[in-house]
Amino acid sequence: MVNGQTFQPLTQEVGEVADRCLDLAARIWARPETGMTEHYACAEQVSLLRELGFAVETPFAGQQTGYCASYGSGDVTFVFMAEYDSLPGLGHGCGHNLICTAAIAAGYAAAVKLKREGRPGRVLVMGTPGEESYGGKVLMMREGCLKGVDAAMMVHPSWHSIPDAGCLGIRRFIVSFKGKAAHAGTAPELGLNALDAAVMLYNAVGVWRQQLPESSRVHGVIKEGGVVPNVIPDHTCSHWFLRAEKERTLDAMEKRFRDMVKGAALMTGTRPLIRPWMTPYQGRTPNQVLNQAYWEAALAAGLKMELPATPGRGSSDFGNVSQAIPAIHGYFAISEGRIPGHSQVFAEASASELGRANMLKAAAAMAAVGYGYLVSQPFRDAVRTEFENNK
Ligand SMILES: [Zn+2]
Ligand SMILES: [Zn+2]
């Protein structure tokens, strides 16, 4: 019971589309497509959603492999978000084949229950491509995809079933240093060493970590560090991720990082170039009222819910959604014990019997949250108050 509303999983309604969703999850798993190339996954979801009675727009919000499926009408709109991109070389190593089918099953269940009860409420299932790196949701939000949407939810596979523990905002950079090549043995005094600059930067970041807030993260790799030892490298390239909970922390971190790049260049006489890379994501702030509802419904659906021991330290483009409207990103277990994300074993778990069964349970729980939101004004008010308080 959350604000007078009970959250019973819509198990029966999800059951009506379980076979088709499981079949789709298996087909998308067997045919992985990386970010922004998810043509098969998008077309198959659109076709199933149309079959289930949704009105679907695709391409949507500027994305060729994006879609928006809508069912029902009314003043209140709840969106279930779908992801379906895979990882290069790893297939569905993040299990997004189960995310999109959970969204479809939940969308159908909530919509059909409202219809049978003759209640108003608009249910959307939104297909958001390229979550890994490209930030499909951020790009779609710039095109107004959340206009008229009141709240959002998605579920993600994991090694355990937990409510949304939040995640970090991320900014990514490519740093290069331009030096001067010279024979390292016969004429070192004519060179300017770009690798030294990259190493200075790497070490500066290492020392900096001691003074970062506990929740912040910085990680980098040197992609190009020179060719042979007897030539002083005139060019290096390194990739960097900066992560933090809040935008203001990221602002301060970015300023310090840029100063370090300049400092490394100054110390080595090289020229620095720093370029923002890929779409930045904001941190994710879970709506705790929606989280409580997911907790109640997921437990009743049979998921072994746990409280997360630590806050989330990854990043997702759903972060931006959570800053714009009340939202949560719940998790469901696809393995019995702890397994790493973005791995071959995670890809295998994304096609396992446990993973597939728990996807349906998570969908039934998510449907309960969306349905509860659409039918209960006191619950919506509590969600809105929590969202405003968190701002
Ligand atoms: Zn991932
Ligand atoms: Zn993922």
User: For 316-368, what is each residue's pLDDT tens digit?
Assistant: 999 999 999 999 999 999 999 999 999 999 999 999 999 999 999 999 999 99
Greatest Cα pair distance in the chain: 86
Residue 137 CA to ligand 1 centre (angstroms) = 14
Indicate whether 122 and 24 sit together in one domain.
yes
- What is the DSSP annotation of 284-331? B---HHHHHHHHHHHHHHT--B---SS---S--THHHHHHHS-EEEEE
Indicate whether 161 and 183 sit together in one domain.
no
Q: Considering the chain, what percentage of its residues have pLDDT values greater than 70?
A: 100
Model pLDDT, residue 109: 98
Q: How many domains does the chain have?
A: 2
Model pLDDT, residue 218: 98
Which protein residues have their CB within 5 A of the ion that is ligand 2? 94
**What confidence tens digit (pLDDT) does each residue in 2-36 have?**
888 899 999 999 999 999 999 999 999 999 999 99
Residue 275's CATH number: 3.30.70.360
CA-CA distance, 347 to 9, in Å (whole number)?
Answer: 27
Indicate whether 80 and 160 sit together in one domain.
yes
Query: What domain range is 213 assigned to?
Result: 169-281
Indicate whether 119 and 76 sit together in one domain.
yes
CB 202 within 8 A of CB 220: yes
Indicate whether 106 and 203 sit together in one domain.
no
Residue 119's CATH number: 3.40.630.10
Indicate whether 45 and 153 sit together in one domain.
yes
Indicate whether 195 and 236 sit together in one domain.
yes
Indicate whether 274 and 298 sit together in one domain.
no
- Does residue 1 surpass a pLDDT of 90? no
Model pLDDT, residue 320: 98
Residue 191 CA to ligand 1 centre (angstroms) = 42
pLDDT band, residue 69 (cuts 50/70/90): very high
Report yes or no on 203 lying in a domain.
yes
Indicate whether 181 and 135 sit together in one domain.
no
Residue 247 CA to ligand 1 centre (angstroms) = 21
Mean pLDDT of the chain: 97
Q: Give the SS3 label for residue 216.
A: coil
Nearest bound ligand to CA 158?
Answer: 2
Torsions phi, psi for 90 (to 5 deg): -120, 0
Residue 347 CA to ligand 2 centre (angstroms) = 11
CA-CA distance, 13 to 111, in Å (whole number)?
Answer: 10
Report yes or no on 2 lying in a domain.
no
pTM for the model stands at 0.95
- Does residue 133 surpass a pLDDT of 90? no
CB 316 within 8 A of CB 345: no
Residue 382 CA to ligand 1 centre (angstroms) = 31
CA-CA distance, 201 to 221, in Å (whole number)?
Answer: 11
Which protein residues have their CB within 5 A of the ion that is ligand 1? 94
